[in-house]
Amino acid sequence: MGNRMKARIEGIGTYRLIMELKYLAVKEEVQKQKVSIEHISTNLMIADPLTKGLPPKTFIGHVERMGVMNVT
């Protein structure tokens, strides 16, 4: 029986099933204590300039920490 059919029988929506399958491997690795998941402040997420607009001062700080350019 396919996953979608099983999901319908068990009353689980397709999106929820996909999300559960997607993160199953991650959950298993966390349970085995091979990886840990921690929240990181936006101030420490150096990839932020690649994903959203930032105030100039924050943008420059992130870009410098990424080593992309030296703004002085």
Do 50 and 26 reside in the same domain of the chain? no
Contacts of 58 (CB under 8 A, 6+ apart): 43, 48
The pLDDT profile of the chain, 72 residues, written as one tens digit per residue, is: 566 656 555 666 777 778 888 888 888 999 999 999 899 887 777 777 778 888 888 888 877 888 876 655
Same domain, yes or no, for 28 and 55?
no
Q: Are residues 46 and 19 in the same domain?
A: no
Q: Report the pLDDT value the prediction gives residue 58, as an integer from 0 to 100.
A: 82
Indicate whether 54 and 29 sit together in one domain. no
Residues spanned by the domain of 11: 1-36
Tell which residue, 48, 52, 53, 51, has the closest CA to residue 64.
48
Domain count, the chain: 2
d(Cα 7, Cα 16) in Å, to the nearest integer?
A: 9
Q: Do 51 and 29 have their domain in common? A: no
Assign 22 to helix, strand or coil.
helix
